[in-house]
Amino acid sequence: MEFREDFVEADGFRIRYWEAGGGPVLVHLHGAGGPRLSRAHDLLRRQFRVIAFEMPGFGQSAENTRSRSMPELADTMVKAADALGLDRFDLMGTSFGGRTALCLASQHPERVSALVLESPAAIRPEGARPPAGPPEDMARRLYGHPERMPPLPAPDPAVVAKQEGLVNRLRGPGRDPELERRMRELETPTLVVFGTLDRIIPPAMGRHYKELMPNCHLVFVYDAGHAIGAERPEAFVDLLSDFLERHEAFVINRTDTVIHP
């Protein structure tokens, strides 16, 4: 995978990111488990200039004791985009990062052309928890078909503890009236994607985004779990790139079905 690793200074943090490809800019904010480049990133870089951030406090970054709320973290990530000279961009948020992306788009709507929320964790049922435990347990929750996926690496306990504290502090309630008020006002074209086998956030949560957001499309990726981009990368990227190119018009089929012209 031809991603280049680099760092950017923003809002007092030293933020790692991976970049590859050319074309329209697509910024990705990862889930509660930290950054993990998947096959979907590799496919996306063929059409987009992909910038995948490691948010402060995740992965190899220093512990983040400063960000007190998700809106604050979202502001930090806008500053990271500023520091990279990004003006307007497409934004994808995965799970926990879906909430960050929603906050970013609602706080800075002029910066985001279109929003993609992959298995977003901004609305959760009572008792939903981020996956934790040994890699086998994590895989059973992350994937619809863990047997088809390569094994997950053993987590570093220090990283896990650092991230868990941050996630618990920032992830907010399952239903957040303030966030939902902002969602009602957000006119950014938004694509919400859930795998039909998601075992972390029930796919039925998708309907709430559609109910709340004025310009929202909900799509289920069949036979994928929570990590859609890792598990069904071609299906996910085909959907995502079509939406980012055509926004609302992506509902119009333009597939050629002529068999023998």
Partner 1 sequence: MKVSFFETGRYVAPPDMPREWPVPAGAYHPEIGARAYQGMVERGRFVEELGFDWISLSEHHYSPRILTPSPVVSAAYLAAQTSKIKISLLGPIVPTSNPIRVAEELAMLDTMAPGRFVFGLLRGTTNEYLSYDLNPIEARERTDEGMELILKAWTEPQPFGWQGRYFQYRTVSIWPRPQDDPSASVYALGTSAEAGEFAARHHVGLGLSYGTFELMGKATQHYRERCAHYGWEPGPDSIIYRANMILGETDDKAEEMLANRSKQAPFPIGGRLRDALLAADVTRNVAGEKRPANVGGVLPISFCGGPDRVIEQLRRCREEMGAGVVDLSLADPGTGDVEGMMRSLELFGTKVLPRIRDI
- Decide the pairing of beta strands 13-20 and 4-10: antiparallel
Closest contact distance (angstroms) between CB of 197 and partner 1 is 9
Return the range that interacts with partner 1 (CB under 8 A); candidates 4-12, 55-63, 73-81, 207-215: 207-215
Q: Does 149 bind partner 1 (CB under 8 A)?
A: no
Return the range that interacts with partner 1 (CB under 8 A); candidates 86-94, 134-142, 163-171, 246-254: 246-254
Bridge partner residues of 115 (DSSP): 91, 190
Q: Does 251 bind partner 1 (CB under 8 A)?
A: yes
Q: For the chain, what is the radius of gyration of the CA atoms?
A: 17
State whether the Cα torsion 32-125-244-146 is positive or negative: positive
Residue 93, C-beta contacts closer than 8 angstroms, at least 6 positions apart: 28, 29, 99, 100, 101, 102, 104, 115, 116, 117, 118, 120
Q: Which two tokens stand for residue 164?
A: 């868990």
Q: Does 239 bind partner 1 (CB under 8 A)?
A: yes
**Could you tell me the CA-to-CA distances from 211 to 20, 27, 69, 97 in Å, in that order?**
35, 25, 25, 21
Return the range that interacts with partner 1 (CB under 8 A); candidates 8-16, 51-59, 82-90, 231-239: 231-239
For partner 1 (CB under 8 A), the number of binding residues is 22
Return the range that interacts with partner 1 (CB under 8 A); candidates 135-143, 157-165, 169-177, 218-226: 218-226
Q: Of 161 and 251, which has the nearer Cβ to partner 1?
A: 251
Q: Of 33 and 120, which has the nearer Cβ to partner 1?
A: 120
Return the range that interacts with partner 1 (CB under 8 A); candidates 66-74, 141-149, 164-172, 203-211: 203-211
| Residue of 137, 207, 214, 245 that binds partner 1 (CB under 8 A) | 207
Could you give phi then psi for residue 99, rounded to 5 degrees? -70, -40
| Residue of 29, 37, 74, 221 that binds partner 1 (CB under 8 A) | 221
Q: Of 162 and 226, which has the nearer Cβ to partner 1?
A: 226
Q: Does 117 bind partner 1 (CB under 8 A)?
A: no
Residue 16, C-beta contacts closer than 8 angstroms, at least 6 positions apart: 5, 6, 7, 35, 53, 54, 59, 60, 61
Could you give phi then psi for residue 51, rounded to 5 degrees? -125, 110
Site residues for partner 1 per CB under 8 A: 193, 196, 206-207, 210-211, 217-223, 232, 235-236, 238-239, 250-253
